[in-house]
Amino acid sequence: EQDISKTAFRTRYGHYEFLVVPFGLTNAPTVFMDLMNQIFHEFLDKFVIVFIDDILVFSKSKKEHEDHLLTVLETLRQEKLYAKFSKCEFWLSSVAFLDHIVSAEGIMMDPAKVEAITKWPRPTSVTEVRSFLGLAGYYRRFVEGFS
């Protein structure tokens, strides 16, 4: 509320104020991530993982999951943050999160990323080698002997 005036602007057609964070603000993702970490602080790594506007809720049982979902949704409501339910997915046994597949069995590489890496064209310049190593390095934990 108190920051609405910071993004206000005036044109010859009137005075305008953003009621939500507009796209394009340099620090918007950082500020929002900080907000999410603050409001979910007591739940982080217990049953919640957040990355910007992605909220991953995990549980050991269906009953526990129901309680965790309720806690997360109530926290969002208390903070006047609203989830677009058409973009939400609930009760998944596995989920794609930050280019990984997460399930009760563990964390694995997204098969689409495996395919992208195996079909990557042979690098022909230092820049292309660096680009490939950046992509492949992200998955080093899954590649035995990767250094």
Any idea what the CATH number is for the domain that residue 79 is in?
3.30.70.270
Asked if 53 and 124 sit in the same domain, the reply is no
Note whether 38 and 50 are within 8 A (CB): no
Instruction: Verify that 76 and 117 share a domain, yes or no.
Output: no
- With tokens 């934990």, the residue in question is 141
pLDDT recorded at residue 90: 94
Phi, psi of 15 (to 5 degrees): -100, 130
Q: Domain range holding 12?
A: 1-91
- pLDDT (average), residues 7-27: 87
Counted domains in the chain: 2
Mark whether 98 and 72 lie in a shared domain.
no
Confidence of residue 113 (pLDDT cuts 50, 70, 90): confident
In this structure, the number of other CB atoms found within 10 A of the CB of residue 41 comes to 9
Same domain? 102 vs 81? no
Judge if 73 and 98 occupy the same domain.
no
Is 86 found in the same domain as 23?
yes
Decide if 28 contacts 21 (C-beta within 8 A): yes
- Per-residue pLDDT at 64: 97
Task: Give the pTM.
Answer: 0.74
Residues 15 and 68 grouped into a single domain: yes
Is the pLDDT at 53 greater than 90? The verdict is no
The verdict on 139 and 110 lying in the same domain is yes
If asked whether residues 55 and 123 sit together in one domain, one would say no
Answer yes or no: do 5 and 61 share one domain.
Answer: yes
Q: Give yes or no: residues 2 and 14 share one domain.
A: yes
> Which residue is it, tokens 């563990």?
106
pLDDT classification of 125: cutoffs 50, 70, 90:
very high
